[in-house]
Amino acid sequence: MKNKLLGLAAAVAAAIILMPVSTSQAEAQFVMNFGSAAPTGTPWSAQLAKIKKRVEAESNGAIKIKLFLGSSLGSEIEMVQDTQRGERLQGGGFSTGAMGTALKLPILELPELPYLFKNTAQADAVLDDVLYAPVTKALAGKNITMYAWAENGWRNFATKTGPIRSPADLAKMKMRAQESTIHQDMYKALGVQSVTKPTSEVLPALNTGIVDGFDNTPLFSMAAGWMEPVKFYTLSRHIYQPAAVVYSKTFLAKMPADLQALLLKNPREESIEGRKGVRALEAELLETMRSTGKQVVELTEDEKKLFRQACKQSTMTKFLGNNPDLQPIYAQVKTKLDGMR
């Protein structure tokens, strides 16, 4: 799998290097640094590379984009805050949870409520039809311009010492939690001791026994190397985690209208393309886990129900209690979901 990911990275890099441009880097009017926790050679890095290629070509070299992947410029929270300032970074691709925490915008954490969605069709409909406009407005108030949704995908539990089939099994573990109140509250509801770590510190924490496991998607878990120390991967699908491609509002405002329009071109199509690339790999990645000796645990419907009952309602109630201004938006989300069930 690692060779495949490296091969994809090489292909993306070659496409960028060979891309014809009519203006040299020295002549570029605007240079944009893009940050992301996305590892090289993944659909996320490929999506950012395609945006780079399109923007540079269609702007005739007036805009140059430099990609800084794999959290090479710090944690997601640090990179989001850098993008907000528009100094070291002018854009990037980040998970919604990280943006919500970094910018103190709970609306961006709302989509990550555990067991909010039953399938990707529900997630897509809520993100595109209900949340895109209010999220765009909220980000603008924090000096961030929303472009397009992307996705991390469905998060599952990965552990070192035993399979997870119930909340009681999980409660025996120390689990890494993302830097997000919702993720921490979910673990608390499940009776789990969680340890908050940025992505750059997860692998050392697993190797040294600071944590016994983590939750993340198959793609990120494999690409980041987090599956190496663990033996079990439980398909809990407890959180669907979106991501987004965003820009510094201050930096964007310095550009003429035609270049701004170019950067914001076709957000819905960009979202569809980004999701497609991530979703196409899931089955293959799970098979790769099995082939390398990992136990992929399939939960029964009754077992899934135990997790939902343990954390869904309590985490949602606490979230809305702490953020009463989001209750009308949550009501819109619920109405949309009820219409699809």
Average pLDDT over residues 278-304: 97
Could you tell me what percent of the chain has a pLDDT over 90?
Answer: 91
For residue 93, give the amino acid letter. Answer: G
Residue at 41 is within a domain: yes
Average pLDDT over residues 314-341: 97
Could you tell me what percent of the chain has a pLDDT over 70?
Answer: 92
Alpha helix positions (H), the chain:
2-18, 43-58, 76-85, 96-103, 120-125, 132-140, 167-170, 181-189, 202-208, 218-223, 249-253, 257-263, 267-279, 282-291, 301-322, 327-338
Report the chain's mean pLDDT, rounded to a whole number: 92
Task: State yes or no: pLDDT of 99 exceeds 60.
Answer: yes
Average pLDDT over residues 126-151: 98
pTM of model > 0.85:
yes
Q: Grade residue 216 by pLDDT with cuts at 50, 70 and 90.
A: very high
Residue at 6 is within a domain: no
Residue at 319 is within a domain: yes
Residue at 274 is within a domain: yes
pLDDT of residue 5: 40
The least confident of 5-19, 22-36, 159-173, 295-309 is 5-19
Average pLDDT over residues 28-52: 95
Instruction: Please give the C-alpha separations between residue 107 and each of 88, 201, 211, 215, 279, in angstroms, as whole numbers.
Output: 26, 27, 29, 22, 24
Residue at 254 is within a domain: yes
- Owning domain of residue 205: 27-338
C-beta pairs of 186-195 under 8 Å, 24+ apart in sequence: 186/114, 186/238, 186/239, 186/311, 186/315, 189/310, 189/311, 189/314, 189/315, 190/307, 190/310, 190/311, 191/167, 191/310, 192/167
Tens digit of pLDDT for each residue in 223-274? 999 999 999 999 999 999 999 999 999 999 999 999 999 999 999 999 999 9
Residue 55 phi, psi (nearest 5): -65, -45
pLDDT of residue 56: 97
Residue at 13 is within a domain: no
Q: Grade residue 27 by pLDDT with cuts at 50, 70 and 90.
A: confident
Residue at 196 is within a domain: yes
**CATH number of the domain residue 81 falls in:** 3.40.190.170
Place of tokens 């987090």: 226
Q: What's the total number of domains in the chain?
A: 1
Residue 177 phi, psi (nearest 5): -115, 140
Residue at 20 is within a domain: no
